[in-house]
Structure 1
Amino acid sequence: MDDDGSRRFVMLFARHERDLYRYVLTLLPSPADAEDVVQEAAAALWQNFGGFDPGRPFLPWACRFAYHQVLNFRRRQRTHRRLFSDAVVEALAVEWPADSEGADARREALDGCLGKLPPGDRDLVRLRYAAEDDVTALAGRTGQTANALYKSLQRIRKSLMDCVTRTLAEER
């Protein structure tokens, strides 16, 4: 690949890497596994970039490679317990591109809704999801029982979902 091709690949991959990761994460339950698969997909994309049609969108092309890397990963992991059957993974892979079109609007609405939460609720969400603490560890740190924490998080998620739904409805 020449320098222009290399530069084009790096620009396209950098622009779409987060979306590609989110796609792979819908197919694999572990963020660490998803990161590994995205790296494998990046190598496959790099090797096959000469066959990419610049007149077509990059992300769907990259997702096809990532999907095959997910299948390869799942074959290597056959001895481990799997969360999804192959049929479910295939259905998710097909459904994701259609669902991803509104993802940016939903993400912006969620950011706005997170900003509207009371500070304690916002901190709880950040501790649970940004720091990726499990509920048991978080319960110990906050002095709540795990059951109480689950209920609080459920209430906050419902509030966020209602807010996002209202925000998106207002934008239409």
Structure 2
Amino acid sequence: MPDTKTGAAEQAARFEKEALPLLDQLYGGALRMTRNPADAEDLVQETYMKAFQKFGSFTPGTNLKAWLYRIMTNTYINSYRKAQRQPSQLPTEEITDHQLVETSSHTSAGLASAEVEALKKLPDVQITDALNQLPEDYRMVVFYADVEGLAYKEIAEIMDTPIGTVMSRLHRGRKQLRGLLKDVAREQGIGLNHPDLAGDRGDAAAKKARKGAGE
């Protein structure tokens, strides 16, 4: 019994030392997910409670942040979906047209000036709607990569999927986003019909949020 108590005390101390410093980062992610401070606090509290209970299964030296994010994401999807709080609607209102255009600087070729001007004319709410139309697996990857700014490896750990799958979903998600935004622009009478623009736009749309999230 003494050994068991000692081990539990050491584990609790290690959890406090390693996990609690990440609380602010987790809260920031929770707030972007729930878009409500009270819900974000509840989500973080539940995440840390579950994480503490499962901390014995965490492998020291691995990515604790990703491990916590995975618990939080699963909690958000499962609990908040049951509560009908629409967790599938990711907080993409933070991804604005300005952010999407700015990401073009991270692409190999950048955007044509005509497309930059066209993107600036799209209302942010329509960009949000387009992102929320993506299939959940694609939307989650785009969210983690382009809003949270996480690396492929971290996303793979959070979603418990191979890096190759993450890259594939991100590519397909951005491609679908490109098509959706192209349709929106066409409906708005905004000129995105040039074949070169149609090919470049999706990657820019998805990648731009990364810089916006980091600013």
TM-score (norm 2): 0.41
TM-score (norm 1): 0.50
